[in-house]
Amino acid sequence: MAGQIGFTLMTEQSGPRELVRYARLAEESGFDYLVSSDHYFPWLPEMGHSPYAWSLLGAVSQVTERVGLMTYVTCPTMRYHPAVVAQKAATVGLLSEGRFVLGLGAGENLNEHVVGPGWPRVSTRHEMLAEAIDVIRRLLDGETVTHHGDHFTVDAARLWDRPEGRLKVGVAVSGDRSVDRFGSAADHLIAVQPDAGLVQRWREQREQASLPAGRAIGQLPICWGPDADRCAQRAHELFRWFSSGWPVMAELPLPGSFTAASESVTVDEVAQGIPCGPDLDAVVEALEPWWDAGFTDVALVQVGDESQEQFLREAAPELLGRVRERPTFRAVA
């Protein structure tokens, strides 16, 4: 399986028209695939955006020709009913002529509370996700689905427009229990930390179920720019929430909550975790733990809307060349 480098369409920090333009530039720069976040709110008020990911993906499918597309990730349990997610995924699969992977996860309170029923505990969220994946899979496989489950009801649903071949599904996991629960339910692993044990357990689960290992897909934030100090300030302004960790991030309800939770995070602390400045080798080195952990794919996040176009035009082609020259990246193939 060949390794891939992706680029993140960060809906929380850019408007929809800008994101479509960045998608086209990312393909021209040489990225292998694009992932889109799927949020109702930005993480912090300073980020300032949150357009609808599925309209964005439809537009991106028409201005690109080669790159893969993916949600990173969609929660199919509260804000969206799983039957509707299946229809959206099938449509994007058709528009992109088979380039789309449906990335799913258990979600965050930040984005799901807007529909009002309250934020379930994590065990319930995993139950809901498992049930949702089953419904989505059956619909994508062409079944007419009637389902009366613990969390969802589906009444004689059928997808009338589906891509040829089975649309691939990725699932976000964070520990042994989620790997054990979802290891045979999806095609690809999605994670936010370069955890070798997670990948190994996933592959063992897949092997026991006589399933292909699939891709292991991660994500790395960077803040490239000519001035390292300015980049560190920008990363702190827009991405200091990232240091909270997913157990905290999944529970907080509003962008202001993330502001309060990250008020003690310093610029230096952010710069220690995010490569900041013009040094492309620092980005290459930051990717090494992912390849060492067994990940096949990593999508970069360029922090800051104002720097997207400059990064894609000036830095990305050289960066991608350096990454692909590394023995650790080539060993992924």
DSSP state of 64: -
Single out the residue of 176, 97, 102, 165 nearest to residue 132, CA to CA.
102
Provide the token pair at 245.
């960790």
Q: Indicate if 108 belongs to the active site.
A: yes
Active-site entry in 27, 49, 97, 108? 108
Q: How far apart are CA 316 and CA 256, in angstroms?
A: 33
3-state SS assignment for residue 119? coil
Cβ(14)–Cβ(53) below 8 Å? no
In sequence order, the 6+-apart residues with CB closer than 8 A to the CB of 116 are none
- Please, what sign has the CA dihedral across residues 202, 204, 210, 212? positive
Q: Indicate if 306 belongs to the active site.
A: no
Active-site entry in 12, 27, 39, 126? 39
Omega of the bond prior to 73 within 30 degrees of 0, cis? yes
- Percentages of the chain per state (helix, strand, coil), in multiples of 5: 50, 15, 35
Matching residue, tokens 């794919």: 297
Can you spell out the DSSP letters for 42-56? Answer: -SSGGG-----HHHH
Neighbours of 128 (CB within 10 A): 22
Cβ(102)–Cβ(170) below 8 Å? yes
Q: How far apart are CA 161 and CA 156, in angstroms?
A: 16
Q: How far is CA 176 from CA 101, 182, 185, 196, 205, in A?
A: 23, 10, 15, 12, 10
What positions carry a catalytic annotation?
Answer: 39, 108
